[in-house]
Amino acid sequence: MRYIPSPVILLAVFATFTLVQVTHCHLITIDPHQEECFHETLKKGTKIKFTFEVLDGGSLDIDLTIKDPNNYVIHSEQRQSSGRYTIEANQEGPHAYCFANKMSSLAMKIVMFNIEFTDRKNESDQEQDKLQNMVTELSALVTGVKHEMDFLAARDRIHRRISERINSRVSMWSMFEVLLTLIVAVGQTYYLKRFFEVRRKV
């Protein structure tokens, strides 16, 4: 087992507490011709890690726009089904994240997205900076795994709902076919019976 000096452990713990990381996970529905916006107040220099995926609806695409406090578009995507972006806030204030489903005339979209904010304090000590970077990378990996699990769970729920809907329609169609077959059989039997009765009379 490798021995880790106590000062290094203390620095690692300190680096963990000086790293401020907040993650928000959302699952939303967006009606046709509609736009949904969310606002977050950020400090200057805050890094924004943005992940989204369209889980259901139409062609599984959506428009994304990220705006700064001056309503200036700092990032934009058109007709994307998923995406991962890292953006740094250049000024302090409310930032807007907007999903638009305006290109769709009928399909409602189900979108899952995660917003992660990371703000690190500036430190002059190189060893502490190195430990902070290690903690940041480890935290990003853990957060990434959590996001993937959230996406998989949400996708599984959507696919299960779609499968149940398809199974229900198949069952209804099967019952309709059985009923139609019985009606045709009864109709043919009645027709043949009437046909032979008429021939006997003749």
Please state the three-class secondary structure of the chain as a single string: CCCCCHHHHHHHHHHHHHEEEEEEEEEEEECCCCEEEEEEEECCCCEEEEEEEEEECCCCCEEEEEECCCCCEEEEEEEECEEEEEEECCCCEEEEEEEECCCCCCCCEEEEEEEEEEEECCCCCHHHHHHHHHHHHHHHHHHHHHHHHHHHHHHHHHHHHHHHHHHHHHHHHHHHHHHHHHHHHHHHHHHHHHHHHHHHHC
pLDDT at residue number 160: 80
Lowest-pLDDT choice from 8-17, 24-33, 43-52, 59-68? 8-17
CA angle 17, 18, 22 (to 5 degrees): 80
CB 68 within 8 A of CB 95: yes
Query: Tens of pLDDT along 81-100?
Result: 888 888 888 889 999 989 99
Q: For the full predicted model, state whether its pTM sits above 0.85.
A: no
What confidence score (pLDDT) does residue 56 get?
84
Confidence at residue 13, expressed as pLDDT on a 0 to 100 scale? 44
Confidence class for position 36, pLDDT limits 50, 70, 90: very high
* Token pair listed for 16: 């963990």
**Token pair belonging to 100:** 């638009």
12 Cβ neighbours under 8 A, 6+ residues apart: 131, 134, 135
CA angle 189, 190, 192 (to 5 degrees): 65
Which pLDDT does position 69 carry in this prediction?
92
- The answer to whether 83 touches 77, Cβ cutoff 8 Å, is yes
Per-residue pLDDT tens for 146-183?
Answer: 767 777 777 777 778 778 878 888 888 888 888 888 99
Closest to 11 measured CA to CA, from 139, 120, 137, 126: 126
Query: Which pLDDT belongs to residue 81?
Result: 87
Overall average pLDDT of the 124-142 stretch = 66
| pLDDT tens, position by position, 91-132 | 899 999 899 998 887 889 989 888 887 765 554 455 566 777
Name which residue leads in pLDDT, 139 or 198. Answer: 139
Give the pLDDT of residue 94: 92
* Cβ contact 148:175 at 8 Å: no
pLDDT tens digits, 15-31: 444 444 455 578 889 99
